[in-house]
Structure formats: C-alpha cells, structure tokens
Amino acid sequence: MLQGTSAIPERAGVDPHAIPQELLQSGEPIVLRGLVAQWPMVQAGRESAEAAVSYLAGFERPQAPPVVATVGPPEIGGRFFYNDDMSGFNFRQEKVPLGVALKTLLKYAQQDTSPAIYIGSTTIDTWLPGFRTGNDLSIPGAEPLASIWIGNRTRIAAHQDVPDNLACVVAGRRRVTLFPPAQLPNLYIGPLDHTPAGQPISLVDFAAPDYARFPRFAQAQQHALSAELGPGDAVLIPSLWWHHMEALEPFNVLVNYWWRQTPAWMDTPMNALMLAIMTVRDLPPDQRANWEDVFRHYVFQPGEATADHIPESARRVLSPLDETQARSLRARLLQRLNR
C-alpha cells in the first residue's frame, strides 16, 4: 500500500437508481459505500468465488466471441508493466472463452503461487446479456458503457481516462489510489503511443517507489487519495483523474460505467494532443510561443474578441459546433492528413 495517502471522501445511502446529478458532475472523487450492495451478483460474490462464477456463467452468451485474458508469470507480483528495456511488456494476451477463463481463475484461487490473470474491459451486453436486468445503475442524462473486469491479485498502474468512471466492486476487494490531473508532471508517465492497455501509465511502482529515480513522486503522494472497497462499494473517478487499481483477493470482479459529459460526436482530446505533438511541439521556440497564443485565443480562452466581429451566419467553426458541422470538419481534417 502506498504510504501517506489521504482518504477519499465517502458517502453512504445513495439510491443506485437516483444518483444525484450534482455528485456525478462535481469533478471530485467520492466513495459510495454500499451503492450496489443489493445486486444479486454482489450477494453471490460475498458467498464465495465459486458462487460468483456460477452466477456469471448463467449469463454467458452461447457462441460468444472469446475474451482477451492478460496473463503474467508469478514473478511479476500481479503488476502488469513493461519489460526491462520497455521494448515490450511483462505479460502476454490470450483469447479464450469467458467460461474457460473463469474456471482457470477458480483453479488458481486455491494455490499460493499463481500467474496474474486479468480479463479487462469486457462489454457486459456483449458477453453477459441479461446480467444488467438485476445488476445495473442509472446515470442521469447519460447512456454509459458498462464493462466487467475479472481477475486475481493484480495491480493496474496509475493511468487516466477521458470519460467519467463509476467503478463498482462486486466480488473481492480492491484498493484504489487517485491523483488530481495536475499531478501529471510528478507521476512520471511513460510513452503515449506504446502502452500496456491503451492509456499511458505511471512508471512508478506503488508497492516500492524508487525515489532516487522518481524524486517528484514524493510531491504527488502529498495529493494522493485512497480507499479500500469491498463488495457493494463504488468509487466515482472523474475525467482525467489518475487512478491506480489493486485487486486484493484471489478472485475479484468489478463492474464499471464510463460516460462523457459531452455529445457523443465530439472526438477525444487525446487525438488533438497527438496532432499537436506532431505539428507544434518541435517548432522553433518563438513560433511555438505564437501558437500558444493562438490556441489560447481560439480554444482555451475564447471570448468576445474571438468571433464577435464576424457575422454570426459566417462564423462556421468559430460558432458552437453541432454533429453535422463536426462531421464536415472531421472529413476535411482526414482529407488533409491523408494527402
């Protein structure tokens, strides 16, 4: 466990079908104790790993495509990460039927030493149709993506997601450690385009921080928040908050909901970041400073001086975008990028 963290604020008694909008849009993390305690899946998880697997198996879709299981040798201690020279990773991925993965986890749950196994981000409606009939939440004003995460004692390095995230522990226990988005410089983030699971991760091992190599991590720890979650508990992780997830039992299941507080047609800002790295970052310093002013004027601090002098009917991309305008703009960008 990472030392020196403060507790994530908590709240109990929230109705899972009437989660307050102001809580979901606050931009601050919160633990919701017992939010999904009445789910049948949680009841099965509290009974035993075998009961949880049996419950899940009842929803497995016949002829479903295989799931992707991430598997690492026992010596990695559950930490999915890079290999020594960061040319690759310390794990492999296998495509297996969900039922086979569940039985494998049960087999290893009885052993003191086992490989690290993780079935991550599996869409519930695709692999477990009907599960959400008795195990679901309502996110006001959103149509979230519901996913299930299943594994043994694993550690997922600190990373951030663009969507808001409501993560619900339904079997086992998990420890979550959070950092505000502003701690980016102190978390020593790895490559943006070569990542273990799609998102850039912190290179710091939270179980044994190397302060000689990562001295600024001590500053990040001053802002860290953590909590241990049991079956039925949930944590709200706002957009771009860094989160490290550690599963603490031989069998763990988490259900999460992702949604964005923006229209579905808006693209991810990560694409803009990658394009800016390609087109702006390596400009001469004076040109880069000029482009910083341009971005501030049009993107980060638009105001009356941005477009009020243009007739409203002629502002085009300088006016509020809608889905039709966004599609047209995307088409023009793709045409330019593919020239």
Residue 183 sits in a domain of what CATH number? 2.60.120.650
- For 244, which DSSP code? E
Q: Does one domain contain both 171 and 122?
A: yes
In a domain, 1, yes or no: no
The token pair at 238 is 């706002």
Instruction: Give the contacts of 142 (CB within 8 A, at least 6 positions apart).
Output: 259, 260, 261
pLDDT value of residue 4: 77
pLDDT value of residue 65: 94
Q: Which residues of the chain carry a pLDDT beneath 50?
A: none
Phi, psi (rounded to 5 degrees) for 46: -70, -30
Phi, psi (rounded to 5 degrees) for 296: -65, -40
Q: Which one, of 183, 181, 174, 176, lies nearest residue 221 by Cα?
A: 183
Q: How far apart are CA 136 and CA 166, in angstroms?
A: 12
In a domain, 264, yes or no: no
Q: Does one domain contain both 16 and 65?
A: yes
- CA of residue 191 relative to chain centroid, distance: 17
Q: Which one, of 44, 65, 15, lies nearest residue 253 by Cα?
A: 44
Q: Does one domain contain both 171 and 312?
A: no
Q: Does one domain contain both 254 and 277?
A: no
Domain carrying residue 77? 6-259
Q: Does one domain contain both 83 and 112?
A: yes
In a domain, 315, yes or no: yes
Helix (H) or strand (E) holding 228: strand 225-229
* Greatest pairwise CA separation for the chain in angstroms: 71
Q: Does one domain contain both 228 and 294?
A: no
Q: Does one domain contain both 156 and 305?
A: no
**Number of domains the chain is built from:** 2
Q: Does one domain contain both 154 and 23?
A: yes
Q: Which of 232, 259, 286 is the last residue of a domain?
A: 259
Q: Does one domain contain both 308 and 194?
A: no
Q: Which of 200, 232, 259 is the last residue of a domain?
A: 259
Q: Does one domain contain both 333 and 194?
A: no
pLDDT value of residue 1: 66
In a domain, 199, yes or no: yes
Q: Does one domain contain both 101 and 223?
A: yes
pLDDT value of residue 289: 97
Strand extents, DSSP E, 57-196: 67-72, 79-80, 92-96, 116-123, 145-151, 155-159, 164-171, 174-179
| Confidence (pTM) | 0.94
**Do the Cβ atoms of 51 and 45 come closer than 8 Å?**
yes
SS (H, E, C) 251-276: CEEEEEEEECCCCCCCCCHHHHHHHH
Q: Does one domain contain both 255 and 274?
A: no
Q: What is the separation, in whole angstroms, between the first and last Cα of the chain?
A: 51
Q: How far apart are CA 174 and CA 247, in angstroms?
A: 4
